[in-house]
């Protein structure tokens, strides 16, 4: 039996998971990973910074021109967007895709770090960049493209399909992190299989963990969000661990992930 069929069978035969258990284990794991979660947010901001600068420099120039004219030219916005070259627009679109692919690679690297800390293994900062290599970036780019092709139409259909799609989409980077040898098609297939099988508990944990991360972050004078934002990745990691597991999992652990 090949690896994709083995993983699909594990998902199909997986036992029911307890919401409270996953949530409590997420908090315990977060105590080990909060610093790396902060670094993930920091690296993401640094990577996105060039695109933000490219996007805002023309807008800043327009605002300065408006100020010089006393804000008496309401047609300046129309002129600004009309004057944007096709090359500039293409550059921005390509930039979004490339930086999005790097962001997926960073998230996948964080999942590997999370696993190491979960198993009390040593981690180094370079682990974040494990997937920022030519052989992996092509997959992360395609995963980013697939995410957009799924999310945008889903959002246009009154957002209801997007609510469903949030769960399988949240497993893309996670499945890729621990199965980088799989094709993009297989990663998407496994993500939707796992997302469908564990949709309710996944959705509930994603919503609750996101709200908790935001609330705690705001209480910590807003900058605390940088420390708490990565908490949302922990429940999905633990669901993956309990349903699919890892290649180095013991036979006893395997028995625990299947229905008796």
Q: List, for residues 156-173, the tens digit of each pLDDT value.
A: 888 889 999 999 999 999
Q: Are the CB atoms for 251 and 39 separated by under 8 Å? A: no
Q: What is the DSSP string of 82-139?
A: HH--HHHHHHHHHHHHHHHHHHHHHHHHHHHHHHHHHTT----GGGGGTT-SHHHHHH
Q: Which helix (H) or strand (E) holds 185?
A: helix 184-197
How many H-runs (helices) and E-runs (strands) does the chain carry?
Answer: 12, 0
Q: Please tell me the pTM assigned to this model.
A: 0.85
Which one is predicted more confidently, 19 or 92?
19
CA distance 255 to 212: 33
- What tokens does 18 get? 């307890």
Residues of the chain with pLDDT > 90: what percent? 64
């Amino acid at each position: 039996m090949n690896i994709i069929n083995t993983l699909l069978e594990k998902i199909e035969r997986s036992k029911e998971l307890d919401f409270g258990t996953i949530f409590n284990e997420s908090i315990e794991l977060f105590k080990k990973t909060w610093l790396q979660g902060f670094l993930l947010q920091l690296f993401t901001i640094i990577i996105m910074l060039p695109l933000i600068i490219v996007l805002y420099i023309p807008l800043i120039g327009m605002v300065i021109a408006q100020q010089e004219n006393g804000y008496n030219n309401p047609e300046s916005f129309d002129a600004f967007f009309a004057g944007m070259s096709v090359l500039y627009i293409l550059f921005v679109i390509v930039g979004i895709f490339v930086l999005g692919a790097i962001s997926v690679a960073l998230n996948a690297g964080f999942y590997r770090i999370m696993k190491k800390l979960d198993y009390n293994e040593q981690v180094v900062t370079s682990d974040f960049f494990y997937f920022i290599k030519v052989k992996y970036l092509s997959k992360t780019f395609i995963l980013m493209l697939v995410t957009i092709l799924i999310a945008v139409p889903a959002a246009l259909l009154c957002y209801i399909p997007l609510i469903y799609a949030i769960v399988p989409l949240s497993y893309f980077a996670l499945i890729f992190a621990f199965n980088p040898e799989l094709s993009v098609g297989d990663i998407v297939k496994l993500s939707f299989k796992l997302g469908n099988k564990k949709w309710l508990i996944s959705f509930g944990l994603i919503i609750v963990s996101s709200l908790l991360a935001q609330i705690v972050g705001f209480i910590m004078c807003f900058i605390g969000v940088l420390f708490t934002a990565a908490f949302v990745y922990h429940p999905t990691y633990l669901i993956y661990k309990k349903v699919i597991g890892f290649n180095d999992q013991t036979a006893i652990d395997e028995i625990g992930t299947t229905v008796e």
